[in-house]
A = this chain, B = another copy of it.
Amino acid sequence: MIMSQLVPNMSTTPVKGKENTRSLLIETGIDIMLEKGFNNTGLSEVLGACKVPKGSFYYYFQSKEDFGLQIINTFDEKYVLELDRVLGDKSLSAVERLTSYINESIAKAEQRKCSRGCLIANLSQEMADQNEVFRNRLKEIIEKRRSAIALVMQEGMSTGEISADLNAQELAEFFLSAFEGAILRAKVKKSTESLHVFKKMMFDKLFKYRQDR
């Protein structure tokens, strides 16, 4: 009997299969962590949902922390692709692109009945004081999103769609703060009112602010 028959999926498993199992664990982890957070998610629950034997976990990940970081990275990679698609659509003006971004987010919140929220914000709240490795990674991600939003705002300011009396970096920081807070309030109220109020205040009011001259 050759080794590959004694130890199933060892040498005969194609790389694709291994990659699929890893992806399945991460996708399932994202789903469960969005609901329960990092600390409250049991590895046995993730493995059970994936029908992956318990012993296999450490083949794919060094530790639960490593699993959490890979989850954050995968979630972020997908988010960046989405963000690039929406914010990079040059057939639309800067403010139209920001509007698309918010409209798509509101539509997703409606679909899931305002539950779960944003994984990055949820883990930020839970882990920022508990784990410096998580905190630094989460900080990088939120700063990267801020820069992406600020760039579009800068464009909107140069074309006059957004008041040039505002500072793009500060406006982007405020935009993301306010939107994250609105997602949290929508989650508690189980109503998208907070998200629609965000949109109205930001796009219809603040973007049109004019300094007294």
**Interface of A with B (CB < 8 Å)?**
35-37, 39-40, 115-117, 121-122, 124-126, 128-130, 135, 138-139, 142-143, 165-166, 170-171, 173-174, 176-182, 184-185, 187-190, 193-194, 197-198, 200-201, 205-206, 208-210, 212
Contact = CB atoms under 8 A, between A and B. Distances in A.
A190 B117 CA distance: 22
Contact of A115 (B39, B129, B187, B212): B129
Given A35-B129, A201-B206, A173 B187 contact: no
Given A125-B122, A180-B184, A181-B176, A170 B200 contact: yes
Nearest to A135: B188
Contacts of A37: 37, 39, 126
A200 B56 CA distance: 52
A153 to B, nearest CB: 12
A177 B178 contact: yes
Contacts of A174: 178, 182, 197-198, 201
Contacts of A130: 35-36
The 7 closest A-B pairs by CB, nearest first: A181-B181, A177-B181, A178-B178, A180-B181, A177-B182, A174-B201, A124-B188
Nearest to A210: B210
B128 A187 contact: yes
A37 B123 CA distance: 12
A206 B174 CA distance: 11
A208 B165 CA distance: 12
Contact of A188 (B142, B181, B209): B142
